[in-house]
Amino acid sequence: MQVDARDRRCPKCDNRIDLQTDGSTITVDIAHQGERVNDALRKLAKELKTARQGVALYLRVVVGSGVIRDEVMSALLDYEARKIIDDFHLDSRNSGAIMVKLKP
């Protein structure tokens, strides 16, 4: 079913469109191309903005195990407090990646 881009609610079920998800996960690497902390944080902000506009439930952010991971975790605490993301935690299969839940 096609919905106008300006619609905030589904005309069929009345649920908020921005909260709809297909349960998928998008994976991005923001730390393994020579990025410095500021570069990685800019990439994080860009990837979050893009992912939140889609229908994925999670954004898996590959950050490595050093200072970038620590700074990204701090940034994600702020995003969570401002309700930009729903939740986040270290990936149980890889401690160099963070799973960010985009929608409730």
Q: Residue 32: its pLDDT value, please?
A: 93
Please report how many Cα atoms fall inside a 13 Å half-sphere around the Cα of residue 35, on the Cβ side. Answer: 22
Q: Of 15, 13, 17, nearest to 5 (Cα)?
A: 17
| Mean pLDDT taken over the chain | 90
**pLDDT tens by residue, 34-63:** 999 999 999 999 999 999 888 889 999 999
Q: Is the pLDDT of residue 18 over 80?
A: no
Is 39 in a helix, a strand, or coil? helix
Q: Residue 17: its pLDDT value, please?
A: 67
In a domain, 5, yes or no: no
In a domain, 9, yes or no: no
In a domain, 28, yes or no: yes
In a domain, 67, yes or no: yes
Note if the pTM is more than 0.85.
no
Q: Residue 3: its pLDDT value, please?
A: 67
Structural domain boundaries, residue 64? 20-101
In a domain, 58, yes or no: yes
> What total of structural domains would you count in the chain?
1
Q: Could you identify the residue written with the tokens 């994976």?
A: 27
Task: Please name the residue ranges forming H helices in the chain.
Answer: 37-53, 67-81
In CATH, what number is assigned to the domain containing residue 96?
Answer: 3.30.1370.110
